[in-house]
Chains A and B, each alone.
Chain A
């Protein structure tokens, strides 16, 4: 194993066809680390992976894999394997043939190929499918075989494009565990893109958020989900309630009738963001809001509340008897789940 990170991007400009795409990206991922890149649809997540893989032209900047400048190398010479969102298997090869493909093109000895195919199929729990054709496999099985094929190649960098998006919810957990188990064994650097924050939080050691054509934040899931660096990132990661107000000289955030003492190092116009889960609907309290609407979901209830001219959402598990449309509920805000930014951010 080299002392270099498995993957390092140095000012890499990702292009969208003929157009400029993402602002230059610089980050490194070490072996054994899983990095999730999240962003809205069309943000350029897949383009980033394809650029790293050498499957689409790039602008300025460099891609280093295990310390080697791969920027101008063809895809087969880079040491990265790219898995599409839909598991794509070679339809003319059976499962064994698919998994053996990267080994055969490397012209490895037959005995080595057979041993590695057997080991990988066993590790991914698809050994009994070895002789099956891709057409006869279920979605989850195809997923695991595609992953097995990538693992068989043992690339230092594994690029997964929306790895769970094509699967039904019951199969996602299975595929997610397969990714974790398989990559734990030989520890590649995994870069996966997804639009699903829960999936990113589950799979990744770090998460990068692409917003407005640039990498807005790159950090661990716990920091990202609790301390986003900007209102845009906060909004993207689920701080969906936004109140515009002001921090007075005493450090109190004021918005309409709301006055919240918050730890802050600035004053003046400010933006307060919080998750619906930060609103605790209580039996009684000084803060009271009118319920404008109620939406039920399995296990939770989402309330659309209004306090004077302020409107926001609350999510709770056990609604009070007053949590009906038109009713009045008392609430409090959990200061642990609030983020505050200067209005100019």
Chain B
């Protein structure tokens, strides 16, 4: 028996375990969301579509659908803004050398590394002073802080290996800086831009501490609402909300993957 074949069963076992760990919680969520109750000794849960019906009818789940729309708007705006802002930031950072670059990278890393609760308290003080506490704009800006950190670090990596000689050549071929950006840089960076936007979307979509601290309960989001439902023991609605949290994220991942394939993996 070779070493490779000896490893195969172990690898299969690990992969199976990983698959179960990934799928089992989702399965439980799905079952809970379509059940009224599931108490021992019942072998199967009592099926019910109440939570979904409530969600669609906008009755008891009406808060969830409103919060989901809020979350979607916040996450889309965070993703787009983080992607657009982190491109020039990452490029500028990559152009620095020595301690300046380390300092810049450290500044980008800080909101990523800082515990969200600590970051949230710091932002809360600042945003309350600026009159942004409890507002959609305040929450958006708060989400943008860690999202921008992640996306800037991502673009720092992209630009560390980015070959800008193509832009040089485009300039000598007669393209103005604006034309170079539009006709050369943007198409080349299509994939990183999409990936950075997706990163920002996901950071915002799942954000709880910053939303609670800066939104002060006035900006409901899906993640915060689901947390409230769990705390109040409404398991079916909480499970439905959790699925709502997962589904758009998966959908966004798939859409981004398709879009990335369409922009044709341009080497940077």
**Interface residue ranges, A against B (CB under 8 Å):** 50, 53-55, 74-76, 78, 80-84, 88, 90-92, 101-102, 104-106, 149-150, 153, 155, 159
Q: Is the CB of B174 within 8 A of A76?
A: yes
Does B173 count as interface, using CB distance less than 8 angstroms?
yes
> Which listed residue (B174, B187, B264, B266) contacts A105, Cβ 8 A?
B174
Q: Which residues of B contact A75 (CB under 8 A)?
A: 168, 171-172
> Which listed residue (B165, B169, B174, B267) contacts A106, Cβ 8 A?
B174
Q: Which residues of B contact A159 (CB under 8 A)?
A: 172
**Which positions 247-268 of chain B face chain A at CB distance < 8 Å?**
263-264, 266-267
Q: Is the CB of A55 within 8 A of B173?
A: no
State the majority secondary structure of interface residues on A: mixed
Q: Which residues of A contact B263 (CB under 8 A)?
A: 92
Q: How many residues of B contact A (CB 8 A)?
A: 23
Q: Is the CB of B172 within 8 A of A92?
A: no
Q: Select from chain B the residue with minimum beta-carbon distance to A97.
A: B183
Shortest distance from the beta carbon of A100 to any chain B beta carbon, whole Å: 11
CA distance A238 to B211 in the complex (A): 74
Q: List 23 A-B contacts (CB under 8 A).
A: A55-B168, A55-B171, A74-B177, A81-B169, A81-B172, A81-B173, A84-B168, A88-B166, A90-B183, A90-B187, A91-B188, A92-B188, A92-B190, A92-B263, A101-B170, A101-B173, A102-B174, A102-B175, A104-B183, A105-B173, A105-B174, A105-B175, A150-B173
Number of A-B contacts (CB under 8 A): 72
Does B184 count as interface, using CB distance less than 8 angstroms?
yes
Does B216 count as interface, using CB distance less than 8 angstroms?
no
CA distance A96 to B29 in the complex (A): 53
Besides A54-B171, A75-B168, A76-B176, 8 more A-B contacts (Cβ < 8 Å) are: A50-B168, A53-B168, A76-B173, A90-B170, A92-B187, A106-B174, A150-B173, A155-B172
Q: Which residues of A contact B177 (CB under 8 A)?
A: 74
> Which listed residue (B165, B172, B266) contacts A78, Cβ 8 A?
B172
Shortest distance from the beta carbon of B175 to any chain A beta carbon, whole Å: 4
Q: Is the CB of A74 within 8 A of B171?
A: yes
Q: Select from chain B the residue with minimum beta-carbon distance to A52.
A: B172
CA distance A75 to B266 in the complex (A): 25
CA distance A88 to B169 in the complex (A): 8
CA distance A84 to B167 in the complex (A): 11
Q: Which residues of B contact A155 (CB under 8 A)?
A: 172
